[in-house]
């Protein structure tokens, strides 16, 4: 089957800045995919190249098999993009905005679908309100609605939940999950790693314009993360044998990294040897955030610490 998005050797230079350094990426139809990375890693640049908002310096991108430059009309029909910035046209109402957006795609009678999106995004009360008068959260919903007017099979959301309240965030994800279940491919960027962990099946992590990790969420957490334990000790000193494992010491709690749960035994032995009493012990669940932090702090820390 044709992949939803195919990125081949994409480079982007802004003057001296090499913003994307040879990105290769294939996202299959029906995936729920996250692009992660710190600010300035190149996520938005990559999305803009996929959307045709930015031209790549070299390399090619296809959306549903259509080249985004040579066959831009076909490619753009396949793609709905929710931009990161809260942009809107202050001259028009919500409904006008959506009617114009469908018109740009040559869709004539789109009222029933527009009504449906308005309903799903809880915009019905505001349908005839000027865009200028909407709150930030409402504007965000309109951006999502605009990306969906032409029923694109591939939907890209660039930080859709930045600055959005909990209720809207949940409503938004419910709707996006529903779209994904009905066959839409979803690509998102977010700084909320728990969102990516809960929603996505695969993630790519970008750093300085390169993909440093591309894997399923499950693999990343089980392979890279290792485990952590959190201890409160009496006396409040960590035996010398365990100093190597320490990754945090905060308010009387030591956080130690271990490769496997079986190594807990070694830790306990070392504590007993120095007659240190364990007041509290927590085993922390590994998560995507931990993976992310490790990867962004350099490839050498990908190796799990050993006792």
Partner 1 sequence: MNGFLTLLYKELLRFWKVGFQTVFAPMLSTLLYLLIFSHALEERVQAYPGVTYTVFLIPGLVIMAMLQNAFANSSSSLIQSTVSGNHIFMLLSPLSYQEIFIAYVLASVVRGLVVGLGIYVVTLGFFELPLYSFAWVFAFALMGTALLGALGIIAGIWAEKFEQLAALQNFIVLPLTFLSGVFYTIPSLPPLWQGLSYLNPFFYMVDGFRYGFFRASDVSPYLSLGTLMTCFLAVSWWTLQMLKTGYKIRK
Q: Say how many C-beta atoms besides its own lie within 10 A of residue 296's C-beta.
A: 18
Dihedral (CA of 291, 293, 299, 302) sign:
negative
Q: Is 261 in the site for partner 1 (CB under 8 A)?
A: no
Identify the residue among 1, 16, 39, 106 touching partner 1 (CB under 8 A).
Answer: 106
Q: Restricting to residues 138-177, which ones interact with partner 1 according to CB under 8 A?
A: 146
Identify the residue among 17, 38, 58, 91 touching partner 1 (CB under 8 A).
Answer: 91
Cβ atoms of 235 and 276 within 8 Å: the answer is: yes
Nearer CB in complex with partner 1: 44/263: 44
Q: Is 90 in the site for partner 1 (CB under 8 A)?
A: yes
What's the alpha-carbon Rg for the chain, to the nearest Å?
23
H helix intervals, the chain: 43-51, 72-77, 94-104, 111-120, 136-148, 166-181, 193-199, 217-223, 264-273, 288-296
Nearer CB in complex with partner 1: 101/276: 101
Identify the residue among 11, 22, 54, 60 touching partner 1 (CB under 8 A).
Answer: 54
By C-alpha distance, which of 65, 91, 89, 90 is closest to 78? Answer: 65
Mode of pairing for the β-strands spanning 185-189 and 32-36: parallel
Q: Is 265 in the site for partner 1 (CB under 8 A)?
A: no
Identify the residue among 62, 77, 141, 228 touching partner 1 (CB under 8 A).
Answer: 77
Smallest distance, Å, CB 65 to partner 1?
Answer: 16
- Give the residues lining the site for partner 1 (CB under 8 A): 14, 51-55, 72-74, 76-77, 79, 81, 83, 85, 87-92, 96, 100-101, 103-106, 108, 146
């Amino acid at each position: 089957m044709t992949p939803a998005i195919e990125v081949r050797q994409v480079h982007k230079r802004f003057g001296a800045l090499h913003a994307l350094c040879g990105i290769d990426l294939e996202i299959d139809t029906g995936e729920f995919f996250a692009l992660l990375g710190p600010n300035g890693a190149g996520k938005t640049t990559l999305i803009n190249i996929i959307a045709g908002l930015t031209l790549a310096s070299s390399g090619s991108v296809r959306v549903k098999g259509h080249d985004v430059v040579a066959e831009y009309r076909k490619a753009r029909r396949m793609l709905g993009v929710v931009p990161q910035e809260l942009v809107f046209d202050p001259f028009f109402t919500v409904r006008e905005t959506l009617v114009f957006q469908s018109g740009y795609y040559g869709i004539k009678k789109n009222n029933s679908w527009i009504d449906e999106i308005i309903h799903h995004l809880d915009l019905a009360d505001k349908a005839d309100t000027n865009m200028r008068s909407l709150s930030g959260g409402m504007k965000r919903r309109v951006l999502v609605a605009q990306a969906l007017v032409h029923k694109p099979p591939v939907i890209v959301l660039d930080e859709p939940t930045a600055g959005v309240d909990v209720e809207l965030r949940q409503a938004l994800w419910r709707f996006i999950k529903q779209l994904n279940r009905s066959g839409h491919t979803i690509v998102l960027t977010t700084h909320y790693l728990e969102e990516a962990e809960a929603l996505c099946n695969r993630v790519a992590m970008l750093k300085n314009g390169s993909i440093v990790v591309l894997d399923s969420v499950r693999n990343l957490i089980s392979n890279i993360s290792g485990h952590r334990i959190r201890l409160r000790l009496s006396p409040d000193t960590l035996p010398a044998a365990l100093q190597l494992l320490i990754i945090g010491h905060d308010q009387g709690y030591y956080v130690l990294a271990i490769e496997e749960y079986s190594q807990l035994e070694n830790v306990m032995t070392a504590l007993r040897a120095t007659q240190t009493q364990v007041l509290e012990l927590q085993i922390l669940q590994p998560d995507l955030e931990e993976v992310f932090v490790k990867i962004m702090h350099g490839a050498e820390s990908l190796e799990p610490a050993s006792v």
